Structure 1
Amino acid sequence: MFEWLARFSLAHSKLMIAIWLVLAVASIPFALNAADPLKVGGFTSDDTESSMVRDVIENDLGYSPSSMIVVYESDTLDARDPLFQEQVEDSLSRVGELDFVEDVITPSVDSSLISASGEIAYAIVGLDLPPEEAQRDVPEFERALVGQPELTFLVAGAPAFYADIETASQRDLRRAELIALPIALIALLFVFGTVVSAAIPLVTGGAGVVVILSAVYWLAHVTDLSIFVLNLATMLGLGLAVDYALFVTSRYREELRRNGNDVEAAVIASITTAGRAVFFSGMAVLIGLSGMILFPLMFLQSVGFAGVVVVAISTLTSLTLLPAILAIVGTRVESLSIGRLGGLAVGSAGGDGRWYRLAIGVMKRPVIVAVVTISVLVALGLPFRDANISSPDATILPQDLPSRQGFDLLSGEFSGGEISPFVIALQFGEDTSSQERLAIASHVESLARSDQRIERVQGPTVFADELSGVPASVRFQARLLLEQLGVNTQLDRLWTGDEAIILAFPVAPANQPENKELLASLRSIPDTDEARVLVGGGTAEIVDVVDVIYDRFPVVAGVVVVTTYLILLVLFRSV
Structure 2
Amino acid sequence: MTRGPLGRLGGAVGRHPFIAIACWAVIVAVALATAVAGLGGQTVFQRLQGQAPSVDGEASKADAILSGGGQSTQSFTLLVHGVDLADGRLSAVANRLGTTLAALPDTSYLNPLAAPVLPGGAHPAAIASSFASDDKGVLFTTTVSGRHGGDPDPDTVDRAQAALEHAANEIRADVPSATALVGGSSLLVHSLLKVSQNDLERGEAVALPIALVIMLLVFGGFLAAGIPLLGAIVSIVGAFGALFGITYLMDIDSTVINVVTAVGLGLSIDYGLLVVSRFREEYRTALAAMGEPWHLAASDRRDIRLLAIAHTADRAGRTVLFSGTTFAIASIGLLVFEPRIVRAIGVGALSVTVIAIATALTLVPALLALTGDRLLRPGALTHIPGVGRLVSRFGDVAPAEGFFSRLTRRVQKHPALITLICVGALVAVGSPLFTLQLANTSIDAIPSSSTQYRFTEQLSRHFPDATSPRVELVTATQGDAKTWATRVSAMPHVDSVGAPAQRGNGWAAVVRVAPATGIDVVREIRADRPDFPARVTGTDARTADLSDSLVRSAPWAILIIALGTILLLFLMTGSLIVPLKALVASALSLGASIGVLVWGFEQGNFAGVLHFDASHVHGVDVLVLVLTFAFGFGLAMDYEMFILSRIKEQVDAGVEAREAIARGLQRSGRIITSAALIIIVVFAGFATGDLMVIKQLGTALAVAVLLDATLVRCLLVPAFMTWQQRIMWWAPRWMKRLHARIGFSD
TM-score normalised to structure 2 length: 0.64
The DSSP-based 3-state class of the residue aligned with 1:71 is strand
User: C-alpha distance in 2, partners of 1:44/1:93?
Assistant: 38
Pick one of 118, 123, 131 that aligns with 1:114.
Answer: 131
**Structure 2 residue 7 is matched with structure 1 residue 3:** yes
Once the two structures are TM-superposed, the CA of residue 359 in structure 1 deviates from its matched residue by: 3.4
Q: 1:504 is matched with which residue?
A: 510
Q: 1:392 is matched with which residue?
A: 441
- Deviation larger for 229-238 or 324-333: 229-238
User: C-alpha distance in 1, partners of 2:76/2:397?
Assistant: 60
Task: Provide closer, same or farther for how the CA distance between residues 166 and 94 of structure 1 changes in structure 2, counting only shifts above 3 A.
Answer: farther
Q: 1:254 is matched with which residue?
A: 281
Task: Check conservation: 1:416, 1:506, Cα contact below 8 A.
Answer: no
User: C-alpha distance in 1, partners of 2:374/2:445?
Assistant: 47
The one-letter code of the counterpart of 2:22 is A
- Deviation larger for 438-447 or 450-459: 450-459
The one-letter code of the counterpart of 2:31 is S
Q: 1:442 is matched with which residue?
A: 482
The DSSP-based 3-state class of the residue aligned with 1:420 is coil
Task: Check conservation: 1:127, 1:134, Cα contact below 8 A.
Answer: yes
Q: 1:177 is matched with which residue?
A: 204
Q: 2:539 is matched with which residue?
A: 538
Q: 2:328 is matched with which residue?
A: 286
The DSSP-based 3-state class of the residue aligned with 1:28 is helix
User: C-alpha distance in 1, partners of 2:412/2:64?
Assistant: 61
- Deviation larger for 354-363 or 24-33: 354-363
**Structure 2 residue 318 is matched with structure 1 residue 308:** no
The one-letter code of the counterpart of 1:353 is G
Q: 1:354 is matched with which residue?
A: 403
User: C-alpha distance in 2, partners of 1:378/1:416?
Assistant: 44
Once the two structures are TM-superposed, the CA of residue 327 in structure 1 deviates from its matched residue by: 1.2
Q: 1:275 is matched with which residue?
A: 317
Task: Provide closer, same or farther for how the CA distance between residues 358 and 388 of structure 1 changes in structure 2, counting only shifts above 3 A.
Answer: same
Q: 1:526 is matched with which residue?
A: 529
Task: Check conservation: 2:52, 2:443, Cα contact below 8 A.
Answer: no
Task: Provide closer, same or farther for how the CA distance between residues 186 and 440 of structure 1 changes in structure 2, counting only shifts above 3 A.
Answer: same
Q: 2:189 is matched with which residue?
A: 162
Q: 2:676 is matched with which residue?
A: none
User: C-alpha distance in 2, partners of 1:107/1:454?
Assistant: 30
Task: Provide closer, same or farther for how the CA distance between residues 64 and 207 of structure 1 changes in structure 2, counting only shifts above 3 A.
Answer: closer
**Structure 2 residue 53 is matched with structure 1 residue 53:** no
User: C-alpha distance in 1, partners of 2:59/2:193?
Assistant: 25
Task: Check conservation: 1:285, 1:311, Cα contact below 8 A.
Answer: yes
The DSSP-based 3-state class of the residue aligned with 1:260 is helix
The one-letter code of the counterpart of 1:36 is Q
The DSSP-based 3-state class of the residue aligned with 1:223 is coil
- Alpha-carbon displacement from aligned partner over 1:521-572 (angstroms, at most 9, x marks no partner): 43345342xx311111211111111111111111111112112222222222
Once the two structures are TM-superposed, the CA of residue 201 in structure 1 deviates from its matched residue by: 0.6
- Alpha-carbon displacement from aligned partner over 1:347-400 (angstroms, at most 9, x marks no partner): 334x22333333333334433432333233323322333333222335433324
Task: Check conservation: 1:193, 1:341, Cα contact below 8 A.
Answer: no
The DSSP-based 3-state class of the residue aligned with 2:364 is helix
Q: 1:321 is matched with which residue?
A: 363
Once the two structures are TM-superposed, the CA of residue 66 in structure 1 deviates from its matched residue by: 6.0
Q: 1:37 is matched with which residue?
A: 47
Task: Check conservation: 1:209, 1:238, Cα contact below 8 A.
Answer: yes
User: C-alpha distance in 1, partners of 2:441/2:85?
Assistant: 30
User: C-alpha distance in 2, partners of 1:111/1:86?
Assistant: 21
The DSSP-based 3-state class of the residue aligned with 1:424 is strand
**Structure 2 residue 564 is matched with structure 1 residue 563:** yes
User: C-alpha distance in 2, partners of 1:6/1:100?
Assistant: 63
The one-letter code of the counterpart of 1:121 is V
- Alpha-carbon displacement from aligned partner over 1:117-147 (angstroms, at most 9, x marks no partner): 1233324444548xxx999898655322132
Once the two structures are TM-superposed, the CA of residue 43 in structure 1 deviates from its matched residue by: 1.2
Task: Check conservation: 2:49, 2:189, Cα contact below 8 A.
Answer: no
**Structure 2 residue 486 is matched with structure 1 residue 453:** no
Once the two structures are TM-superposed, the CA of residue 326 in structure 1 deviates from its matched residue by: 0.8
5 Å-filtered alignment, 1:332-481, equals 332-335=374-377, 336-338=379-381, 339-343=388-392, 344-349=394-399, 351-415=400-464, 418-427=467-476, 437-447=477-487, 453-454=494-495, 457-460=498-501
- Alpha-carbon displacement from aligned partner over 1:167-221 (angstroms, at most 9, x marks no partner): 1101111111211111111111122222211111111111121122111101211
The one-letter code of the counterpart of 1:321 is L
Higher helix share: 2
The DSSP-based 3-state class of the residue aligned with 1:352 is coil
- Deviation larger for 236-245 or 414-423: 414-423
Q: 2:372 is matched with which residue?
A: 330
- Deviation larger for 207-216 or 303-312: 207-216
Q: 1:244 is matched with which residue?
A: 271
The one-letter code of the counterpart of 1:111 is A
Task: Provide closer, same or farther for how the CA distance between residues 211 and 187 of structure 1 changes in structure 2, counting only shifts above 3 A.
Answer: same
Task: Provide closer, same or farther for how the CA distance between residues 42 and 116 of structure 1 changes in structure 2, counting only shifts above 3 A.
Answer: closer
Task: Check conservation: 1:42, 1:298, Cα contact below 8 A.
Answer: no
Q: 1:298 is matched with which residue?
A: 340
Once superposed, what is the RMSD of the aligned Cα atoms? Answer: 2.9
Task: Check conservation: 1:445, 1:502, Cα contact below 8 A.
Answer: no
- Deviation larger for 232-241 or 106-115: 106-115
Percent of residue pairs identical = 24
Task: Provide closer, same or farther for how the CA distance between residues 523 and 250 of structure 1 changes in structure 2, counting only shifts above 3 A.
Answer: same
TM-score normalised to structure 1 length: 0.82
User: C-alpha distance in 1, partners of 2:564/2:95?
Assistant: 61
- Deviation larger for 402-411 or 260-269: 260-269
**Structure 2 residue 214 is matched with structure 1 residue 187:** yes
- Deviation larger for 397-406 or 538-547: 397-406
Task: Provide closer, same or farther for how the CA distance between residues 7 and 393 of structure 1 changes in structure 2, counting only shifts above 3 A.
Answer: closer
Task: Provide closer, same or farther for how the CA distance between residues 176 and 411 of structure 1 changes in structure 2, counting only shifts above 3 A.
Answer: same
Q: Which runs of 5+ in 2 are unaligned?
A: 37-42, 116-126, 289-303, 382-387, 577-746
- Alpha-carbon displacement from aligned partner over 1:312-338 (angstroms, at most 9, x marks no partner): 000010011111111111121144242
Pick one of 512, 515, 520 that aligns with 2:518.
Answer: 515
Task: Check conservation: 1:347, 1:353, Cα contact below 8 A.
Answer: no
**Structure 2 residue 241 is matched with structure 1 residue 217:** no
Task: Provide closer, same or farther for how the CA distance between residues 112 and 16 of structure 1 changes in structure 2, counting only shifts above 3 A.
Answer: closer
Task: Check conservation: 2:132, 2:462, Cα contact below 8 A.
Answer: yes
User: C-alpha distance in 1, partners of 2:227/2:215?
Assistant: 10
The one-letter code of the counterpart of 1:317 is T
The DSSP-based 3-state class of the residue aligned with 2:536 is strand
Task: Check conservation: 2:54, 2:542, Cα contact below 8 A.
Answer: yes
The DSSP-based 3-state class of the residue aligned with 2:535 is strand
The DSSP-based 3-state class of the residue aligned with 1:259 is helix
The DSSP-based 3-state class of the residue aligned with 2:469 is coil
Pick one of 263, 272, 281 that aligns with 2:305.
Answer: 263
Task: Check conservation: 1:426, 1:532, Cα contact below 8 A.
Answer: yes
The DSSP-based 3-state class of the residue aligned with 1:45 is coil
The DSSP-based 3-state class of the residue aligned with 2:472 is strand
Q: Which runs of 5+ in 1 are unaligned?
A: 428-436, 461-490
Once the two structures are TM-superposed, the CA of residue 17 in structure 1 deviates from its matched residue by: 1.4
5 Å-filtered alignment, 1:32-181, equals 32=36, 33-41=43-51, 43-46=53-56, 48-59=57-68, 62=70, 67-74=75-82, 77-79=83-85, 84=90, 87-91=93-97, 93-95=99-101, 101=107, 104=110, 106=112, 109=115, 110-126=127-143, 128=145, 141-145=160-164, 146-147=166-167, 148=170, 149-150=174-175, 151-181=178-208
Once the two structures are TM-superposed, the CA of residue 276 in structure 1 deviates from its matched residue by: 0.3
User: C-alpha distance in 2, partners of 1:96/1:394?
Assistant: 32
User: C-alpha distance in 2, partners of 1:445/1:194?
Assistant: 71
